[in-house]
Structure 1
Amino acid sequence: MAKRLWPPGAAVISGVLLALCFPPFGIGMLVWVAMMPLLVALWTGGSDRRRGWFGFRTGFLAGAAFWLINLKWITEVSGMGMVTVALYLALYFAFFGAFAAGVGNPWRPRRSGREGRDALAEAGRSLGYAALCALWWCGLEWTRGWMLTGFGWNGMGVAFHETLVLAQAAELVGATGLAFLPMFMAAVVVQVARRLHGEARRGKRLVHWDFAAAATLLAVAFLFGVFRLQGWKPEEVVPLRVLAVQLNIPQEASRVLWSLEEVHGGYEDETLRALNELEEANVMRMEEELEEGEGALEIEMPDWVLWPESALKEWLLFTGDGLQVTGPANRLTLERVLGAGSFTLLMGLNEIEAVLDGDIAVPVEGGDSYNSLLALPPGAERFLSYRKQHLVMFGETIPYQDQLPILRKFYEMSAGVEFGGGFSTGSGDEPLRIPHPAAPDGQVAVIPSICFEDTVPRLLRKYVHTGGQLIVNVTNDGWFKDSEAAAQHFANARFRSIELRRPMVRCSNTGVTAVVGANGSVYDPLTGSRRVLEDESGNHLTRGWLFATAYVPVDGPVTLYARGGDWLSAGGFLLGLGWWLTARWRRR
């Protein structure tokens, strides 16, 4: 009985250990040992018959344990939905288990009497199988990122979100490729441990070249990270001062619990209060400088003001000939805020297609509607607009709802609210170009993203060009209240800055409002201050504003990841699939 139960138990332990690497637990160091129990179970458990099925169900248990813990925040919207998503995502663990237990198993078939004879050959075999399993894992994470529109959330490499020295390799292989290192190390350590056990029984010690090679790879990754974390010269960047406002508005699923007056008044009050406090601080510094007789004072006021996703309640109507019209409440709020200074306002707002009926813009019945990021530079009469391209399934769109109305009913039954209607999908690959007098060419190019789009690297990388660029994300994680969803979202988002070597500015309604450097750090490289909106206790779920500086590269590099995407992970998937098919063909 114990022989049958220990593989499932080991699988569950691996799933739990891996879940502890992510918020709210954040014990990232466990990523180095998390997969060891699962690998031992896959490589030694079960019988020689039906290895694939044994590995599939064992891997599935590990995946279920991981995702049921990792995604418990979805229960804030739908408990049934959380279980469904978790069990679907567990299938990727299952396919890893089937591979590792079968064709990726270094100990099958058994090689009696040969172990320990040739240390170098044994090391080569160990490294080969470790790399094969690690590449297959990376390939499955890559597949998960696009299959059924994709959910690349909390890949193993995201465990390095606070270990930035090892996260820097994401510019080469992406966040999915970072998973190679901990999986490879775990596979090598498990094989070396087994050989050490055998050597202890025989009283003979050998050199373990595979462990030395794995340790060398880890050292190379560490040294690369140290090199990439080195600072930059002031002439290589353009400082961009941003003011991001977060109201922490409560909601039930998609339903905002504040009235229009409360929402609009909140953004007006918080923004104007921030501008007034910054102006008062400038006056105080000016008086101090005059008393001390020192050099010229630099006035610190925002170049940009940011509001989060779907900030204001009224929609922006647009016509085919370029006319933009919004409601009176929106216009009043914009007039009050824009009159308080000279800055570019960036905010999330919903757009809807309209036609002119005389002098009045009227929404088109059945027309397109978009979840948009809008920018209004000083003196501009029209909004620059980015329309969201990666829609959240069952949040912003329900696929095939016209053909299968039961899908809509399923959502409404599980979420407890009516589905408010789906958005249309945006298009394009050109960044938003916003004037900025300090930039060499007079503008900064924005890589736009809305909501979970900053966890979709294949979307953001298509906007990368040479020159001054930064990522802007407006989001609203209020659907999931005070759960760990926002912290996990931010942990994933930080890797876009490393992959593309572009800083990021995030503004959330309920979530994490922050400025991230091109190396993934939230600390200002000049002042050392932490650029995250938090209350006195360090909680990011708070109302307030963040005034911080983003340092935009004058000539941002086009990284290997920006050019080639998930080349390592995609290659790993193809290699693993080819290995699997070849092994099956040979058995015939």
Structure 2
Amino acid sequence: MIGAVIFPFLPLLPPLLPLLLSAAASGLLMVALFPPWDQTWLAWLALWPVLLGVHFDSGRDKAGREAGAVWSDRRLWTAGYAMGFLFFAGTLWWIGLVTAAGTFLLVAYMALYPALWLVWARWRWEAEGGELTSAGNLAVAAELASVWTVGEWLRGWLFTGFGWNDLGVALHRNLPLMQGARWGGVLLLTWLVVFVNVVGVRSALRFVREARGRQKVRPHWDFGVAMLAVAVLFSAGMSHLLHAGREGGERRTLRFAAIQPDIPQSEDDPFPPEKAIRRQLDLTEQAALFKPDLVLWPEAPVGVSARLNPSYRRGLDGLVSWMPFTLLIGSLDYHDDLLYNAAMLFSPARPDGEAPQVYWKNHLVPFGEYAPWADRLPFMRRLVPFVLDFSPGRDSGLVTMRKREAGEEPIKLAPLICFEDSLPLYGRHVARLHPDLDVLVNITNDGWFRTSPGSAMHFANAVFRAVELDRPLLRCGNNGVTAAVEQTGRVAATFAGNGAGVLAGELAWRPGGVTPYVRYGDWIVGLSLALIALRLAAARLRRGRVIRL
């Protein structure tokens, strides 16, 4: 069986090996950009190995190749697929702690996008043969950056989308450059990263050619343009950060306490609900000493409904009867025989029998919360470790709380459950639908991924929502990352470690406006598609002229 799979590729190995190794090197460098490694500086170099591999491969059998032969070259697809598979397997392996088969299918699908990009890069490299020029290098770099960016947008949207770990997310530790997400989202940062990589490689190759006398020495303004683009974005980001720090006017505050109970997650040996509620109640009593306005519990730390399970209901009713603060919790919820992943907000001194404000999670995680296409493909059910599918909520509404002080305006919270804070399209949808929202609140349960980098990677993707939407972000996790994030993406406070405890503090913010990203969305995608179309049209026109000559 294994031999039957491998044998067709054996003849490809000698000519494939250099390109495969260069692609694998880029895949591993991209892994290093994200937690737990966080080598952000490598973002500007990560694609160098594969681009150099493409360059040196482009002269192989170039003479006599038919137009379009690149697209049928199995070596290129294999190398590109290997790069994508290494990258996504190396950054998303921890999802396999919940569903190994589902993770394999996810990685196998997502690897197609880098494979397509590599083949496109090889095709473009060959089509742009001859002397390397500044104008030509900038055009190729812009085209390849556009193709990569469109690919990331597609995988963040197609089949409900899974847009984790865009290359722009690699800049999550660079606060000035992160501000670019205000103007064009994470995909604008992705475009810039790929653009700089391509310009850098082609400029380096041009230097070598000029040094060896293979082409005339000319000014390298292509490299200058790439560096200027980074400098302009960095300077604009610094200016925004300085302005945000000095800006006067109305500022609002919220005293918060986020409970991190660190409740073990296991389908085989579930944690007793009565112990879970007791642990959270004990931590909440500690949190009350900080006199918070808002106390947060994480997303459904046990698989029961807070409104239906007797132990949970008794403990929760007892807490609500005396608490002087607002409480937002995560819980399973049932309605009309459907199962929901819910956030429930309980107000202090509410009348007996008054229902909490409830938000049902809108965007469900495939293979984690439901089995996709299980009604038509029954085997998909076996890939999900849960018996029941969750149903998606339909209302991306806000919940409203009031502070202790009389006369204070109510605070409108946008609940985001689990991975919803990592979805730029959904975050923008909420901000456009509710321009009066004050604070983003994410409750999550990354305890299923134990001590893996999963929670840190989740957080790296999430911090960009604060920048894109110009709203602060509060996060409460079962075992991390529990944190408070300012509107600029700066982490104001975080809970140290994965154990149980309380993160308490005061969140301050100015009322947010409508950012260019909220107003115009991923405009860089539209610009990229237009640029790709222009480049293709220009290439077709050039071929027509050659044929007529």
Same fold (TM over 0.5): yes
Distance 1:460 1:571 in 2: 22
Partner of 2:251: 237
Q: CA deviation at 1:215?
A: 1.1
Partner of 1:361: none
Aligned 8 A contact 2:99 2:367 in 1: no
Partner of 1:307: 297
Distance 1:480 1:58 in 2: 30
Q: CA deviation at 1:193?
A: 0.9
Partner of 1:360: none
Q: Provide closer, same or farther for how the CA distance between residues 159 and 243 of structure 1 changes in structure 2, counting only shifts above 3 A.
A: same
Matched position secondary structure for 1:229? helix
Q: Provide closer, same or farther for how the CA distance between residues 71 and 585 of structure 1 changes in structure 2, counting only shifts above 3 A.
A: farther
Structure 1 residue 68 corresponds to structure 2 residue 89: yes
Aligned 8 A contact 1:264 1:312 in 2: no
Distance 1:569 1:438 in 2: 46
Q: CA deviation at 1:513?
A: 0.7
Equivalent of 1:216, from 211, 225, 228? Answer: 228
Equivalent of 1:503, from 472, 481, 489? Answer: 472
Distance 1:515 1:576 in 2: 40
Q: CA deviation at 1:131?
A: 0.9
Structure 1 residue 491 corresponds to structure 2 residue 491: no
Distance 1:256 1:169 in 2: 45
Distance 2:396 2:258 in 1: 25
Equivalent of 1:549, from 484, 506, 515? Answer: 506
Matched position secondary structure for 1:202? coil
Partner of 1:532: 494
Partner of 1:281: none
Matched position secondary structure for 1:236? coil
Equivalent of 1:87, from 93, 96, 108? Answer: 108
Partner of 2:388: 421
What letter is aligned with 1:100?
A
Distance 1:173 1:503 in 2: 18
Q: Provide closer, same or farther for how the CA distance between residues 389 and 583 of structure 1 changes in structure 2, counting only shifts above 3 A.
A: farther
Partner of 2:208: 197
Provide structure 1 residue ranges, at least 5 long, that are not aligned to the other structure. 117-121, 279-300, 317-324, 354-363, 412-416, 524-530
Q: Provide closer, same or farther for how the CA distance between residues 129 and 110 of structure 1 changes in structure 2, counting only shifts above 3 A.
A: closer
Distance 1:420 1:562 in 2: 38
Q: Deviations over 1:551-584 (max 9, x none)?
A: 2323x11111111221212442454367458857
Farther-moved stretch of structure 1 (228-237 vs 127-136): 228-237
Structure 1 residue 408 corresponds to structure 2 residue 381: yes
Q: Aligned ranges for residues 332-347 of structure 1 at < 5 Å? A: 332-347=314-329
What TM-score results when the alignment is normalised by the length of structure 1?
Answer: 0.82
Matched position secondary structure for 2:420? helix
Provide structure 2 residue ranges, at least 5 long, that are not aligned to the other structure. 1-12, 545-549
Aligned 8 A contact 2:369 2:389 in 1: yes
Aligned 8 A contact 2:473 2:487 in 1: yes
Distance 2:79 2:30 in 1: 15
Matched position secondary structure for 1:546? strand
Aligned 8 A contact 1:239 1:552 in 2: yes
Distance 2:208 2:176 in 1: 33
Q: Provide closer, same or farther for how the CA distance between residues 335 and 100 of structure 1 changes in structure 2, counting only shifts above 3 A.
A: same
Aligned 8 A contact 2:418 2:443 in 1: yes
Aligned 8 A contact 1:515 1:549 in 2: no
Distance 2:234 2:474 in 1: 27
What letter is aligned with 2:228?
T
Q: Provide closer, same or farther for how the CA distance between residues 378 and 578 of structure 1 changes in structure 2, counting only shifts above 3 A.
A: farther
Matched position secondary structure for 1:273? helix
Q: Aligned ranges for residues 437-516 of structure 1 at < 5 Å? A: 442-464=409-431, 465-467=434-436, 469-516=438-485
Q: Provide closer, same or farther for how the CA distance between residues 208 and 584 of structure 1 changes in structure 2, counting only shifts above 3 A.
A: closer
Aligned 8 A contact 1:245 1:271 in 2: yes
Partner of 1:517: 486
Equivalent of 2:311, from 298, 309, 329? Answer: 329
Q: Provide closer, same or farther for how the CA distance between residues 108 and 248 of structure 1 changes in structure 2, counting only shifts above 3 A.
A: same
Partner of 1:375: 345
Partner of 1:282: none
Q: CA deviation at 1:185?
A: 0.8
Farther-moved stretch of structure 1 (544-553 vs 470-479): 544-553
Matched position secondary structure for 1:422? coil
Q: Deviations over 1:425-481 (max 9, x none)?
A: 111243223234679871122122100111111112122244451111111011111
Q: CA deviation at 1:79?
A: 3.3
Partner of 1:398: 371
Equivalent of 1:153, from 160, 164, 178? Answer: 164
Aligned 8 A contact 2:150 2:529 in 1: yes
Q: Provide closer, same or farther for how the CA distance between residues 256 and 351 of structure 1 changes in structure 2, counting only shifts above 3 A.
A: farther
Distance 1:172 1:181 in 2: 13
Partner of 2:34: 22
Farther-moved stretch of structure 1 (478-487 vs 79-88): 79-88
Q: Deviations over 1:149-193 (max 9, x none)?
A: 111011101111111111110011111221111111111111111
What letter is aligned with 2:158?
M
Q: Provide closer, same or farther for how the CA distance between residues 178 and 522 of structure 1 changes in structure 2, counting only shifts above 3 A.
A: same
Q: Aligned ranges for residues 135-150 of structure 1 at < 5 Å? A: 135-150=146-161
Q: CA deviation at 1:586?
A: 7.9
Distance 1:519 1:352 in 2: 37
What TM-score results when the alignment is normalised by the length of structure 2?
Answer: 0.88
Q: Provide closer, same or farther for how the CA distance between residues 459 and 440 of structure 1 changes in structure 2, counting only shifts above 3 A.
A: farther
Q: CA deviation at 1:135?
A: 1.4
Aligned 8 A contact 1:140 1:573 in 2: no
Q: Aligned ranges for residues 357-372 of structure 1 at < 5 Å? A: 364=336, 367-372=337-342
Between Structure 1 and Structure 2, the one with more helix by share is 2
Q: Provide closer, same or farther for how the CA distance between residues 436 and 53 of structure 1 changes in structure 2, counting only shifts above 3 A.
A: farther
Distance 2:406 2:16 in 1: 65
Matched position secondary structure for 2:491? coil
Aligned 8 A contact 1:42 1:58 in 2: no
What letter is aligned with 2:373?
Y
Aligned 8 A contact 1:142 1:570 in 2: no
Q: CA deviation at 1:229?
A: 1.6
Structure 1 residue 45 corresponds to structure 2 residue 57: yes
Q: CA deviation at 1:42?
A: 2.3
What letter is aligned with 1:125?
G
Aligned 8 A contact 1:446 1:471 in 2: yes
Partner of 1:181: 192
Q: Provide closer, same or farther for how the CA distance between residues 227 and 241 of structure 1 changes in structure 2, counting only shifts above 3 A.
A: same
Q: Deviations over 1:265-317 (max 9, x none)?
A: 111111112324x3xxxxxxxxxxxxxxxxxxxxxx2010000111465426x
What letter is aligned with 2:97?
E
